Structure 1
């Protein structure tokens, strides 16, 4: 390597907090915007609907029915909420991740499962505090026959009718889901990257494959809690008294089990994995690219 070249994988330890935050913000917006229609289908499939028109048998069925009865634009409803929240949330996420990984020795040679797990968990706790209200608004707008057409009108309505707590009723569930999700994602990503790219060269294909595998594994493991999160975040729109009265994660899990048995915890599994595999691949590809580009 020439003396004036910068080792690519070495960027994370000396590129600086600001670089990592900027790269994370750009990566987050890219990830969520591209895969948003599949996420919309996932939300629809996870909701316990009483209206037959809002009950879907699979990903293909959901796409077909939504496109034919509501129009393709419906699949993008709520994307503005994600874009508004994803930038700041992902900036904090990646910034905290890199800072904690450096503090705990994760940038040194060898495997550092504990370091990357701690860093991923710390990153999630920080970013979810910012993202949770935006996610509530997003899911309210994604629902069948949603009355909301703008982020602001939806946020105002939720606050006026349900109070501030509606934006954070799912936060403990979100953390219970995303802390193991992120710990698994980052650990699998770092492991796959070391296996596929031991020379630590700049390798977009390596980042895409590693990110995709990591996202799929993490998404599959945490789907049951995602179903509970969706129930809590959309409870205010339900006509079912029991669902409207759900007060937390354990209550939501009991409702899901009573209504649909064990299979209820797999609601939306396919679109969730389909969302996270390519979106994580794109997110890591974008993150590593932007990190290198900004650093240069």
Structure 2
């Protein structure tokens, strides 16, 4: 009888390359599949000046956008995340596994501190790479966007607003992503340990743990996500006050002044709807590719 294989540790000398490649493939899968819902989330979070661009819910947004602009509008800007998600997720998961190993997160027991620090470190590195792509994506997602090409959008934003436009939201992005990924990774690891104590490759476990982790993290960080959207789309706004927003504090003030406490929940439903399946798919893809690549690598030794 063949010896049972622990897929998470095969082979140890292929760890970083495997984790980065698996992360890149998982990231592309995650973002591409759920992109239309992400487009709806962006539009719901923007303070629109036209009643035509104000939506009452996900269903209302989907119906109106598809009927007036066509379904293709929901995919506008997808190439920005495809181009950025692969490298960013490769960096994310590579850093994640490296820091977790360094801090003893792979040892037996409840290593919540190691997993939290690993998640925070991973997102700091990955967001530095992904932030410009995210700005381009949201500029292309807004109502009546003038951009149809990722490269045209990047060129125009750089020409009109400078390099700072691609990073004005970076502090806010980190303020979202660090707790989001720390929460997500910690919850994922804990749920996975409970559901899969033998550490076997289990698609059901990875989907369930990923979905639960994503839902919790998305709900907690939605208020800051609204602020990030305002910062990243300020250059397309016709509102002078929004165009002059300089940072997270300004964005949060506008949200509170104009919409009160409910403003911090803008886009909550589509954000959770996007995050739950996307994180489930991301972790499933990551664990699958990690298992598959490590098995292939092991077979070549």
Question: Per the shorter chain, which TM-score range?
Answer: over 0.9
Query: Which aligned runs of 4 or more in structure 1 are off by greater than 3 angstroms?
Result: 11-15
| Residues 1:163 and 2:162 are matched in the alignment | yes
Give the structure 2 partner of residue 86 of structure 1: 85
CA separation in 2, counterparts of 1:115 and 1:47?
36
Give the structure 2 partner of residue 252 of structure 1: 251
Whether the 8 Å CA contact 1:12–1:20 is kept in 2: the answer is no
Q: How does 1:200-215 map to 2 (within 5 A)?
A: 200-215=199-214
Q: How does 1:31-180 map to 2 (within 5 A)?
A: 31-180=30-179
Q: How does 1:139-288 map to 2 (within 5 A)?
A: 139-288=138-287
Whether the 8 Å CA contact 1:32–1:83 is kept in 2: the answer is yes
**1:2 deviation in Å?**
3.0
CA separation in 1, counterparts of 2:10 and 2:290?
8
CA separation in 2, counterparts of 1:209 and 1:218?
14
CA separation in 1, counterparts of 2:137 and 2:282?
20
Which ranges of structure 1 fall in alignment gaps of 5 or more residues?
Answer: none
**1:15 deviation in Å?**
3.8
TM-score (norm 2): 0.96
The 3 A distance-change label for structure 1 pair 190 and 11 is farther
Whether the 8 Å CA contact 1:13–1:98 is kept in 2: the answer is no
Whether the 8 Å CA contact 2:201–2:291 is kept in 1: the answer is no
The 3 A distance-change label for structure 1 pair 271 and 173 is same
CA separation in 1, counterparts of 2:261 and 2:11?
42
TM-score (norm 1): 0.98
Q: Deviations over 1:259-288 (max 9, x none)?
A: 100100000000000000000000000000
CA separation in 2, counterparts of 1:151 and 1:9?
37
Moved more, 55-64 or 11-20: 11-20
CA separation in 1, counterparts of 2:107 and 2:2?
22
RMSD, aligned α-carbons: 1.1
Whether the 8 Å CA contact 1:215–1:280 is kept in 2: the answer is yes
Size of the aligned set, in residue pairs, is 295
**1:10 deviation in Å?**
2.6
CA separation in 2, counterparts of 1:170 and 1:185?
21
